[in-house]
Amino acid sequence: MSARIQAIRGMHDLVPEGMACWQRLESAVREIVDAYGYQEIRFPVLEKTELFKRSIGEVTDIVEKEMYTFDDRNGDSLTLRPEGTAGCVRACIENGLLHNQVQKLWYMGPMFRHERPQKGRYRQFYQIGIETFGLAGPDIDAELILMARRLWQRLGILDQLELQINSLGTSADRKTYRVALVDYLQQHREQLDDDSLRRMETNPMRVLDSKNPEVQKVVASAPSLVDYLNEEARADFEGLKSTLEACGVAYTINPRLVRGLDYYSKTVFEWVTDRLGAQGTVCAGGRYDGLVEQLGGKPVPAIGFAMGLERLVALLEEAGDCPQRTPDVYLVLVGDVAISQGASLAESLRDDLPRLKLVQHCGAGSFKSQFKKADRSGAGYALILGDDEVEQGTIGVKPLRGQGDQVTVPIAELARHLSDMISD
């Protein structure tokens, strides 16, 4: 045997057995985005490196050390997308979706970051993202949070999540705040690590984001950006809070919540859980009013968020509430004549009952071995067609989950018989 080739570290296969929670999550998301009037957008997983540098920011974890960047055959520097917002904005500008119109969009797909793999942190992971354009808030800010809450409710995990909000103000607010923050950090520089010292010079708000417990202690008493908000940012933040209160959404204000990317302004928020150890943020987002212009479009206010599907699936798995999808019926075919008629019988049932989930046994085999497979498939019923049945124009219908005895049904009446059974 040849040596096996293994998957890349931190990049996982999702095998059928583990898909139930993924499917439950994804179909709940589709229902909810539909219900709120959001439209799907898709864009490439590969973009020019410049796109991410210019949007996410040079002095961020992602751009400094997490991107999968390589030269294309013609020498262009390309990067596997580490997040969706930058590509989404690029696609919207390029396709003229932002000319005096509101867009409410969502997308789903893999993202790539070269991080140290651990529980809840992978090198290829999946996100579902929501982005809206042309709305300055705070009504839309609240809508995004309410939409996420409805999703958690539908999935039965709302009580495991806490909503944290903050406002990063306008860029003028951050400029004033920056001076106060650097001043404070300078006074505690002996407690900062090298990363934080460097960031204090280049991008001091990133220090608030540090995962180092020593730095976090210093940061705990740092000045708060909320105290530096101008009239407009303050009014928006108050507007968001009062809508959340009117809708009965519990929240905490976390003044250290700055988000790890450069493009955010005003409202930022995260949904966090204490059930997943260190990787507790399952959904994060915020307003990014400057980004469209920064990427070459006309200025358009925007806000969005992204959720990490692996972390949400982990919560759903813990709740243990994701039934496997199983077939309604498994068609057992014993004998040459029965086998030769199996496909046309299966197709005519599919014509008559478009929602029927029918697995046709392929590959012949004894009655006993086929019956075992029928049982293992999780199907509700086995349909048993042998040469005798073909001759008599009948078929056996055997309940597999303890719903009574086997009955013999004329083939002409099978579709009606099944539709009665499946609908109850």
125 binds ligand ATP, rule: CB under 6 A = yes
How far apart CA 328 and CA 44 sit, in angstroms, is 37
- Residue 299: how many CB atoms within 10 A of its CB? 12
Strand blocks (E) in 41-168:
46-48, 68-71, 77-80, 103-112, 124-133, 162-167
Residue 306, SS3 per DSSP:
strand
Note whether 210 binds ligand ATP by CB under 6 A. no
**Alpha carbon separation from 93 to 52, 100, 297, 301 (Å, rounded):** 15, 12, 6, 13
Asked if 47 touches ligand ATP (CB under 6 A), the answer is no
Query: Which among 86-94, 120-128, 143-151, 221-229 is the span making contact with ligand ATP, rule CB under 6 A?
Result: 120-128
Instruction: State the DSSP string of 374-416.
Output: HHHTT-SEEEEEEHHHHHHTEEEEEESSSSS--EEEEGGGHHH
The answer to the question of residue 308 lying near ligand ATP (CB under 6 A) is: yes
Q: Given candidates 81, 174, 311, 361, which one binds ligand ATP under the rule CB under 6 A? A: 311
To the nearest whole angstrom, how small is the minimum distance from the Cβ of residue 313 to ligand ATP?
Answer: 10
Q: Are 385 and 356 in contact (CB under 8 A)?
A: no
Q: Which residue from 218, 282, 322, 411 is in contact with ligand ATP, where contact means CB under 6 A?
A: 282
Among 106, 122, 152, 237, binds ligand ATP (CB under 6 A): 122
Q: Which among 32-40, 177-185, 276-284, 372-380 is the span making contact with ligand ATP, rule CB under 6 A?
A: 276-284
Minimum CB distance to ligand ATP smaller for 12 or for 150? 12
What character string, x for contact with ligand ATP (CB under 6 A) and - otherwise, covers 221-260?
Answer: ---------------------------------------x
Kindly give, in sequence order, each residue whose CB lies less than 8 Å from that of residue 145, ignoring residues fewer than 6 positions away: 163, 165, 240, 244, 249, 269
**Which residue is closest to ligand ATP by CB?**
308
| C-alpha to C-alpha distance for 317 and 312, rounded to whole angstroms | 9
Between residues 121 and 198, which has the closer beta carbon with respect to ligand ATP? 121
Nearer to ligand ATP, 174 or 311 (CB): 311
Distance CA 116, CA 124 (A): 12
The reply on whether position 310 binds ligand ATP by CB under 6 A is yes
CB of residue 186 vs ligand ATP: minimum separation in angstroms? 26
Question: For the chain, what's the residue count?
Answer: 424
Decide if residue 279 touches ligand ATP (CB under 6 A).
yes
SS (H, E, C) 210-253: CCCHHHHHHHHCCCCHHHHCCHHHHHHHHHHHHHHHHCCCCCEE
Instruction: Supply 117's token pair.
Output: 């793999």
Helix 194-202 / helix 171-187 crossing angle, nearest 10 deg: 140
Centroid of chain to Cα 175: 34
Q: Which CB atom, from 93 or from 284, has the smaller least distance to ligand ATP?
A: 284
CB of 89 to ligand ATP, least distance (A): 15
Residue 313 vs 333, nearer CB to ligand ATP: 313
Q: Which stretch binds ligand ATP (CB under 6 A): 28-36, 137-145, 156-164, 304-312?
A: 304-312
Is there binding between residue 109 and ligand ATP (CB under 6 A)? no
Amino acid, res. 260: G
Task: Name which of 126, 135, 144, 116 is nearest 12 in CA terms.
Answer: 126
State which residue, 80 or 385, has the beta carbon closest to ligand ATP. Answer: 80
263 binds ligand ATP (CB under 6 A): no
Q: Choose, by CB under 6 A, the member of 26, 64, 115, 195 that binds ligand ATP.
A: 115
Q: Number of residues interacting with ligand ATP: please give it, by CB under 6 A.
A: 18
For residue 307, what is the enclosing H or E element?
strand 302-308
- Looking at 12, 30, 48, 121, which residue binds ligand ATP (CB under 6 A)? 121
Q: Which of 47, 83, 131, 289 binds ligand ATP (CB under 6 A)?
A: 83
Contacting positions for ligand ATP (CB under 6 A): 83, 113, 115, 120-122, 125, 127, 260, 279, 281-284, 306, 308, 310-311
